Each structure stands twice: as structure tokens, then as C-alpha cells.
Amino acid sequence: MNEKETKTKKDSPLIFSKMINIMRKVEAIGKEQKNPAQHYFFRGIDDVYFALHNILANEGVITIPEILEERAEERQSSSGKMAMSRILKIRYRFYAEDGSFVDSSVIGEGADFSDKAANKAMSAAHKYVLLQTFCIPTEEPKDSEQDSIEMGKKKNESEDKKAMKPAAKTTQKSAQKPPAVQEPPAATEEPPPIEKTAPAGSEEEFMGGAKPPSKFDTAVHMTVKGERKKISYKEALEHFQTAKKFLGNKDYYAVLGDVGFEKSSDLPFEKLDEVYRAMLKKYNDRKDFS
């Protein structure tokens, strides 16, 4: 190796060789989690962390986020409820031990009925910057040509003209194509029939009707007063609030903590009945003891 080659290798930033080593070590990540409402499998952010954490630590590489732009929108769900949507443009800086770094900027979007929209947007952004930076094999569709999603209207359409407006790309062929002219309907033509949709939270919608249910309108099974019945997720949470009044904060949160949750609204559908029964048992045991 001559003097020039030795100098080039010595002066090369450490981060490049570290990231190449990470790509050599990381394996494919399977879809191990299931969405209980729409019944599809996905890879969560924790799945990505589990696959990469030890490799990043052993290679001495860390990621530091910096939010470059952000936008908040209030959107209406299919059930008519308003949800907050947050769109964040985040730059992640990958640092090596010698201080050398590589930047990667991504967009993350998240929606929530409460205050976790920004948290979800950051999780999505970090998950995809790691997947794409290290080219981790996946099977999920990521090409825009594979599907087309119809979004609901924003509360304020004028806000769409603000920050983070995407640049429009027009090809010569599409620019020359004149807009289609719609012929007016004949005077005798009858108006098209109104398409009926299943009511939010109904059995028809839950089993695959016209619109997917929101989380709070989704039907769940829970045993209340000794009778197992189908109620909405929102109604289930109201029963938990009643249990909280009878148990008191200490015992209520103790039962939630035993199953690894801080709030009843964090409980997955399949845990509702089990945790509610545990609260009822704790209340009865305490009443019998007294």
C-alpha cells in the first residue's frame, strides 16, 4: 500500500465503515405484531430496536434526532370523531465514536384522539430511517403504485397552503393533456342513489362493512355484571372509570400495573375482559375482608 492509499484510509470518517458493518450484521425483520382493529400484521418500532440495538451499541453508533419542520392538522375519522394529526420532518444524525457523522432526513406522520400524535410521528420516522438507511429486508408494500388511499377532509383546507407544501411534478405528457369535459346530465336523468354505509361501531361495520371502525367505536366483548356482552371500546372504558371510583386510585392502578399498563385506554382489546375481571375480584376480595 503506497503513501497516498494509507493516508486516504486513515483520514476516512469512521462512521462509514461502522454503518457498513451494521448492514452486514442486521437480519430481516418479520411482521410479528397484529393490528386488532383492521387485522393486519406489521413491524413495530420495538421490533426494529430489538434487531438493531445491540449491533449499534457494539459498533459504537448512535442516532440523534432534530425536528426541522412540523405541522398539525385536525382530521375527521370515519366515525365522525375529530383526531389530531402531526406531520414531522426530522433529521437523524448517525454518530460514530470519533465524532464523524452521516445525516438522513425523513417524514413521520401520526394521528391520535388524545395527545400522542407527535409521539407516533416520531416513532414512524425513526423506524423508517433505520429500515431504509440499513436496507433491512421487509415484505410490506412501500411503493406508492401498490395502493391508493382516500383521505378525509381536513378541518381547515386553507392550512394546506402553509409549511411543508410538496413540490408539484408535471410531465410534458400530462401537461399537454386537456382536462376532461363532463357532459351535463339529461333533464330526465334521475339522481344517483345515495350509498348507505354501516353505522359506526355496528356489527356490520365491525365485520368488514363500508368503513373501518375507529378504535373507540370498535365492538369488543366484556363481562359486565356477570353477563358477557358486546359493547364499544368507549363503553368499555366507561366501565373502567366506574371501577376506578369503587376501587380507588391505588388499587385501580395497581391492577393495571400488574399487567404492564399505566392507563385503561392503553389496554388492547383482548386484555379488556381479563383486566376488568381482575378489578372486580380485587373489589370483592377487599369487601369480603372488611
- For residue 96, give the CATH number of its domain: 3.30.390
Are 105 and 23 within one domain? Answer: yes
Give the C-alpha distances (Å, rounded to integers) separating 111 from 39, 124, 237.
18, 11, 20
Name the packing angle between helices 117-133 and 45-59 (round to 10°). Answer: 50
Domain around 223: 203-289
Are 129 and 216 within one domain? Answer: no
Instruction: pLDDT band for 97, please (50, 70, 90 cuts).
Output: very high
Average pLDDT, the chain: 75
Between CA 188 and CA 190 the distance in angstroms is 6
Domain presence at residue 102: yes
pLDDT in tens, 17-57: 999 999 999 988 877 666 666 666 667 888 899 999 999 99
Residue 126 has a pLDDT of: 95
Domain presence at residue 112: yes
Q: Which of 88, 114, 139 is the last residue of a domain?
A: 139
Domain presence at residue 157: no
* Residues 151 and 76 sit within 8 Å (Cβ to Cβ): no
Are 16 and 129 within one domain? Answer: yes
Q: What are phi and psi of 165, to 5 degrees?
A: -70, 125
Residue 112 has a pLDDT of: 86
Are 105 and 33 within one domain? Answer: yes
Q: At residue 101, what is the residue type?
A: F
Domain count, the chain: 2
pTM for this structure?
0.45
Between CA 95 and CA 140 the distance in angstroms is 29
* Residues 233 and 216 sit within 8 Å (Cβ to Cβ): yes
| pLDDT at 139 > cutoff 60 | no
- Of residues 253 and 209, the one with the higher pLDDT is 253
Residue 122 has a pLDDT of: 94
Are 211 and 111 within one domain? Answer: no
Neighbour count for residue 86 (Cβ, 10 Å):
20
Q: Which of 139, 163, 192 is the last residue of a domain?
A: 139
